[in-house]
């Protein structure tokens, strides 16, 4: 099987496993796990942010951040297809008692003018606008990346309206590699950033939440409330350290693979339209007479696994488990369909 369903299917490499086996560990709820402490300071340094908090999942990092930034009854501004809104089990309502102001984005990217128009006036009828969440790259937008200049414009709107700005950076490293941007530039702009280690970076588990000292102090308390205070999780954090040291630059290989897939898929009869490919995600719109589930079924017969993410869209995600020979086989199979 050649698995393009998600970059979460990656398994630890021998080098990563060795780093995990040799990790020094302690009780992290006591603040005594040297591997977690090292991962948190590495990540904070990389982004030029004050502190960091290791969390079991990206969902928890996002939800902890949203809880920190909001009060019950507040409104969170984000794209209508944002992960925090559509893929976190209603967590904004359940965990923070806040509601969402969804904005129709351009492949998941929202613009400063849209944010400005969505901010509620100070009026007792209205929810208090307190937080803007951006997603870079955008998962449902097909791995699209923000222009950094637009992020800066959104920051200005946030400053003017006293809004916090959170980045769901589950795949931020894909954006940084694709756009040749620096992590520290992003660290300067956002009040908080969550990054995933369990996606393209190839770790079995883990996410890191970044922010100012006071914010992380509050986040550490909320992580405990959510049940995310872990003990000797340094075995997992060691995988994260290994990933930050070895698996970032290689993301460009995954991006090349997604482009190669796009070039052959565009020539097949069952695809109507391809989303623009910027990183490691490729979303293909299938023809009206070819439901996405049937196309996924055809591919599965050739040992290629993809996800039908809607009735007329299939998604390929490339990752470090996809080798050159798997790519050759996949491209041949698609040409032969």
Interaction site with ligand PLP (CB under 6 A): 57-59, 62, 83, 135, 139, 168, 170, 196, 198-199, 207
| Nearer to ligand PLP among residue 139 and residue 192 (C-beta) | 139
| Nearer to ligand PLP among residue 203 and residue 241 (C-beta) | 203
Separation between Cα atoms, residue 195 and residue 167, nearest integer Å: 9
CA torsion through residues 153, 159, 161, 166, sign: positive
**Min CB(31)–ligand PLP separation in Å:** 23
**Min CB(170)–ligand PLP separation in Å:** 3
Residue sitting closest to ligand PLP (CB)? 58
Separation between Cα atoms, residue 271 and residue 292, nearest integer Å: 10
| Nearer to ligand PLP among residue 34 and residue 87 (C-beta) | 87
| Nearer to ligand PLP among residue 157 and residue 208 (C-beta) | 208
Tokens linked to 11: 């398994």
Tokens linked to 278: 């910027």
For residue 137, whether the previous peptide bond is cis, meaning omega lies within 30 degrees of 0, is yes
Tokens linked to 134: 């951006």
Separation between Cα atoms, residue 128 and residue 115, nearest integer Å: 14
CB count within 10 Å of CB 312 equals 18
| Nearer to ligand PLP among residue 135 and residue 191 (C-beta) | 135
Q: Are 110 and 250 in contact (CB under 8 A)?
A: no
Q: How many CA atoms lie within 13 A of 324 on its CB side?
A: 1
**Min CB(194)–ligand PLP separation in Å:** 7
Three-state SS for 277? coil
**Min CB(30)–ligand PLP separation in Å:** 25
| Nearer to ligand PLP among residue 281 and residue 296 (C-beta) | 281
- What is the side-by-side order of every strand in the sheet holding 74-79? 51-55, 207-211, 192-196, 164-169, 128-135, 74-79, 99-103
**Min CB(196)–ligand PLP separation in Å:** 5
**Min CB(32)–ligand PLP separation in Å:** 25
Q: How many CA atoms lie within 13 A of 295 on its CB side?
A: 28
| Nearer to ligand PLP among residue 248 and residue 337 (C-beta) | 248
Angle at 217 between CA 213 and CA 219, to 5 degrees: 115
**Min CB(62)–ligand PLP separation in Å:** 6
Q: Are 283 and 295 in contact (CB under 8 A)?
A: no
Token pair 């492949």: residue: 107
How do strand 207-211 and strand 51-55 relate by DSSP bridges? antiparallel
| Nearer to ligand PLP among residue 207 and residue 313 (C-beta) | 207
**Min CB(324)–ligand PLP separation in Å:** 26
């Amino acid at each position: 099987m050649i698995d393009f369903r998600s970059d979460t299917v990656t398994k630890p490499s021998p080098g990563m496993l060795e780093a995990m086996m040799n990790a020094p560990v302690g009780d992290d709820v006591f603040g005594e796990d040297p591997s977690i402490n090292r991962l948190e300071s590495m990540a904070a340094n990389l982004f030029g942010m004050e502190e960091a908090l290791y969390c079991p999942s990206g969902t928890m990092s996002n939800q902890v951040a949203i809880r920190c930034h909001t009060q019950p009854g507040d409104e969170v501004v984000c794209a209508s297809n944002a992960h925090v809104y559509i893929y976190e089990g209603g967590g904004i309502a359940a965990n923070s008692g806040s509601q969402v102001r969804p904005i129709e984005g351009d492949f998941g990217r929202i613009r400063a003018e849209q944010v400005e128009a969505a901010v509620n006036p100070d009026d007792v009828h209205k929810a208090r606008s307190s937080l803007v969440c951006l997603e870079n790259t955008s998962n449902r937008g097909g791995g699209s990346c923000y222009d950094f200049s637009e992020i800066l414009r959104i920051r200005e709107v946030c400053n003017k309206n006293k809004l916090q700005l959170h980045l769901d950076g589950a795949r931020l490293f894909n954006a940084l590699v694709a756009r040749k941007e620096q992590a520290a530039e992003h660290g300067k702009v956002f009040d908080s950033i969550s990054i995933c280690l369990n996606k393209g970076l190839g770790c079995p588990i883990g996410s890191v939440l970044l922010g100012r000292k006071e914010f992380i102090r509050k986040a550490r308390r909320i992580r405990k409330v959510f049940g995310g205070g872990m003990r000797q999780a340094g075995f997992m954090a060691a995988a994260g350290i290994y990933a930050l040291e070895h698996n970032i630059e290689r993301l460009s290989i995954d991006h090349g693979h997604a482009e190669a897939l796009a070039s052959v898929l565009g020539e097949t009869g069952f695809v109507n339209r391809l989303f623009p490919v910027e990183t490691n995600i490729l979303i293909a719109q299938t023809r009206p007479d070819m439901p996405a589930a049937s196309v996924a079924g055809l591919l599965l017969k050739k040992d290629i696994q993809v996800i039908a993410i809607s009735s007329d869209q299939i998604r390929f995600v490339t990752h470090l488990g996809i080798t050159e020979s798997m790519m050759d086989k996949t491209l041949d199979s698609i040409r032969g369909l």
